[in-house]
Structure 1
């Protein structure tokens, strides 16, 4: 079944139009969500994208995806986390880190801390090949930079991660 996504303007407002899963037209935006999920020992969960994915197959990344029509960014991140890695979060677990806008995408970024181990993850094979834990340094250097995230995105995530790790988000 083809996913239907809401179309947004550059400022994150729904336009009232929808589109089938794909790439928005020039001037239109889709809502994406990313979550940086920490285990109780402050290691970040990463996932290796399935080799069958259209974009970035086989690359290590964080959990995320696109919001389905009618979903808020919170709804989308809770769904994506449970679908892709089998970790159930509650809205109260989420720390909103910020918004990053790039061509045709609005990315809402979240952090959450949860007491879990890798065997607790139940991965969605269509999306994810495997999961692992990494340190903050490995996340920023080995995952985000190698994945080709922009400098601005990495700076936003790095700052938010340090605030989250040191409890400055309370």
Structure 2
């Protein structure tokens, strides 16, 4: 099995070397990730992570995300979307939401990321072909409701399973990967983009 090598950085985002991926979280090294959020209308699309994942099993998270390896550019991160979700997206169709510095302390793991965050606005619901070892299912949540949850205005939101059954469930913050303020910052940026577009029409 090939060892996946990851670039590591100081806290000013200056590259200082590289390490095997499995060592990066143990050491708490800063590294780069690619995040892609999908929206459809007024809804966000969330992935529910596979219960077999080593990190954050069974929790709700970003539509699609992954690490950038030493030989990848930011644009190459788009591969995560097709690998995890079975949806082919062109990088030129993404809207950049900037780079966010994010740190998660989870049990004995220190996950420190420079997140290259992007938005993809779906015109119709994608036909997902999920990589089951990575993603258990896809769900929608109203953007407005999600912002209120991460802002502490409400304690729970309703999410709807994408697919034939369209089952609904109520979840709280403890059902999400512990990204802290990251979610609120990103979702507010998405809200602003959508509001500006409406004003321009």
TM-score, normalized by length of structure 1? 0.82
Contact 1:34-1:65 within 8 A present in 2 as well = yes
Contact 1:32-1:67 within 8 A present in 2 as well = yes
Q: For residues 40-63 of structure 1, give each alpha carbon's deviation from its aligned partner in whole angstroms, at most 9, with x where no partner exists.
A: x23221111000111211111112
Deviation at 1:13, TM superposition (A): 3.2
Q: For residues 89-116 of structure 1, give each alpha carbon's deviation from its aligned partner in whole angstroms, at most 9, with x where no partner exists.
A: 1121111112221343211211111233
Any stretches of 5+ residues in structure 2 without a counterpart? 104-111, 150-156, 158-170
Q: Secondary structure at the match of 1:162?
A: helix
- 1:128 matched to which residue of 2? 135
- 2:4 matched to which residue of 1? 3
* Higher strand content, 1 or 2: 2
- 1:137 matched to which residue of 2? 144
Q: Structure 1 stretch 136-145 or stretch 89-98: which is displaced more?
A: 136-145
Deviation at 1:8, TM superposition (A): 2.2
Deviation at 1:136, TM superposition (A): 0.2
Alignment of 1:25-44 (within 5 A): 25-26=27-28, 28-39=29-40, 41-44=41-44
Structure 1 residues 145, 100: closer, same or farther in 2, change over 3 A? farther
Q: Secondary structure at the match of 1:166?
A: helix
- 2:164 matched to which residue of 1? none
Structure 1 residues 56, 138: closer, same or farther in 2, change over 3 A? farther
Q: Secondary structure at the match of 2:38?
A: strand
Structure label with greater radius of gyration? 2
Any stretches of 5+ residues in structure 1 without a counterpart? none
**Displacement over 6 Å in runs of 4+:** none
